[in-house]
Structure formats: C-alpha cells, structure tokens
C-alpha cells in the first residue's frame, strides 16, 4: 500500500509541471511572435521591444514556476 502514495506523488508532480507548462509555453510563443512582428514592422524600436518582451516572458513564466513549486512540494515535502 505504501508504494501507491509514492506513485501518486510522482504522477501528480509530473502532471502538475507538465500541464502547467502548456499555458506559459503558448504564452511565451505568442509573446515572441508579437515581438518579431513588431520588430519586422519597426526595426529601430529594438531596445524597448526587447525589454518589454523579456518582462512579459517573465510574467508568463511565473505561471509555470507556480506549477513547478507545486511539483517540488509534492516530491520533496508531501
């Protein structure tokens, strides 16, 4: 019986980070697309586009980090 708690923990952690990375992945892709489009239209605005893209990516990535925190807690703490 003991092994099933470990199994559940591992599956839960894998699912948490795997499913949690889908949304941020799409989000970062969209951000990159938007930045490339903007860069193609207006190559002189490279600096501000770059800064804002990195800020946006950091926000999208934070969602994946929440999933990662859950996965870490499941494996190491629960």
Partner 1 sequence: MTEKKHRGTLLKIVVLAIALFAMIIISFVGSEVGSGIVGSEPLSLFNVEAPQYHPAPEKPFHHLPITNTMITAWISIAVLGGLFFIGTRNMKLVPTGLQNFLELIVEGAANFIEDPAGKKHGTWFFPVCTTIFLFIVANAWVSLIPGFETIRINGEPLFRSANTDLNVPAALAVVSFCYVEYWGFKAKGVSYLKTFFHFGPLWQAIKLIVTGNIKAGAGGLLNGFVAVFAGLLEILSHIIRMVSFTFRLFGNMTAGMILVMIMIFLVPWVLPTIFYGLEAFFGFIQAMIFAGLTLGFACAAVMEE
Residues in the site for partner 1, rule: CB under 8 A? 54-55, 58-59, 61-62, 65-66, 68-69, 72-73, 76-77
Q: How far is the CB of 59 from partner 1 (least distance, A)?
A: 7
Q: How far is the CB of 1 from partner 1 (least distance, A)?
A: 26
Dump the DSSP string for 47-65. Answer: HHHHHHHHHHHHHHHHHHH
Establish how many alpha carbons lie within 13 A of residue 49's alpha carbon, considering only the half-sphere containing its beta carbon: 16
Choice between 43 and 48, CB closer to partner 1: 48
């Amino acid at each position: 019986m003991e092994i099933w708690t470990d199994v559940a923990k591992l599956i839960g952690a894998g699912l948490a980070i795997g499913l949690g990375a889908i949304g941020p992945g799409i989000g970062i892709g969209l951000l990159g697309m938007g930045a490339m489009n903007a860069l193609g239209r207006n190559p002189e605005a490279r600096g501000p586009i770059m800064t804002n893209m990195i800020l946006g990516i950091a926000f999208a990535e934070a969602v994946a980090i929440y999933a990662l925190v859950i996965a870490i807690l499941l494996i190491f703490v629960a």
